[in-house]
């Protein structure tokens, strides 16, 4: 009986101690490899990033890690706010945009009707987060700012892309009018001008008759 009670007590204490231990963060800023997300080389993180609001690899983990980091690293100020658009490894990414150079170390990206102000480039066990100079619907990407391959004959070379996470305006950009729309607008302006010119002689004659 005493042995059973001791076992229950030991299990309970182990559970309490386990809960009191802080779990390792899934996403962390790599100290010394992050001056600012606005820097040309971005900010380097250990871990993964996606556009989900849930899970260990949530973009919120990266956002919180960076905003905590800039409390002591003043060059990383101000805080950032990530509004997810899509990630290039999503099944429906083709509905949002495209990338070139997939599974390589560099290429371009394009979004259809959306503007990105942050992109996260993932390769290997880390990712770089970049703040774009201005909201954009296209740009280039590279994995050369991330740690290279560690072993083998390709050691030191950039790793192949895993995916790109896009953040920015969740509202589609206003579409440019089609050619037919432009034609109708021009015709409308022309008709207004023609009507205005037709009206001038009548107004002149009316003034003469009133004299």
Q: Kindly report, residue by residue over 104-140, the tens digit of the pLDDT.
A: 999 999 999 999 999 999 999 999 999 999 999 999 9
Beta strands of the chain (E only): which ranges?
Answer: 28-34, 43-46, 84-87, 97-99, 106-111, 116-123, 126-136, 138-142, 163-168
Low-confidence ranges of the chain (pLDDT < 50): 1-3, 5-6, 8-24, 209
User: What's residue 171's pLDDT?
Assistant: 60
Total-model pTM = 0.71
Q: Residue 26's pLDDT is what? A: 84
Instruction: Look at residue 6 in the predicted model and tell me its pLDDT.
Output: 45
Q: What is the pLDDT of residue 114?
A: 95
pLDDT at res. 192: 64
Q: Kind and range of the H or E element at 206?
A: helix 179-210
Cα dihedral 192→193→198→203 (10° resolution): 90
Q: Which of 131, 140, 179, 176 has the alpha carbon at shortest distance from 161?
A: 140
């Amino acid at each position: 009986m005493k042995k059973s009670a001791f076992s229950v007590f030991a299990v309970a204490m182990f559970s309490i101690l386990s809960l009191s231990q802080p779990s390792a963060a899934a996403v962390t800023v790599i100290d010394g490899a992050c001056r600012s997300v606005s820097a040309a080389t971005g900010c380097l993180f250990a871990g993964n990033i996606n556009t989900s609001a849930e899970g260990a690899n949530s973009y919120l983990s990266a956002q919180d890690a960076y905003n905590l980091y800039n409390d002591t690293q003043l060059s990383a100020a101000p805080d950032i706010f990530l509004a997810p658009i899509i990630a290039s490894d999503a099944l429906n990414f083709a509905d949002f945009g495209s990338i070139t150079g997939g599974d390589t170390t560099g290429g371009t990206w394009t979004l259809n009707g959306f503007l990105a102000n942050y992109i996260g480039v993932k390769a290997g066990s880390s990712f770089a987060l970049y703040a774009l100079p201005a909201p954009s619907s296209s740009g280039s990407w590279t994995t050369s700012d991330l740690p290279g391959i560690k072993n083998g004959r390709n050691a030191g070379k950039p790793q192949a892309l895993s995916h790109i996470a896009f953040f920015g305006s969740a509202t589609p950009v206003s579409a440019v009018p089609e050619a037919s729309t432009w034609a109708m607008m021009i015709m409308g302006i022309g008709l207004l001008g023609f009507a205005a010119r037709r009206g001038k002689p009548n107004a002149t004659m009316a003034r003469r008759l009133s004299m």
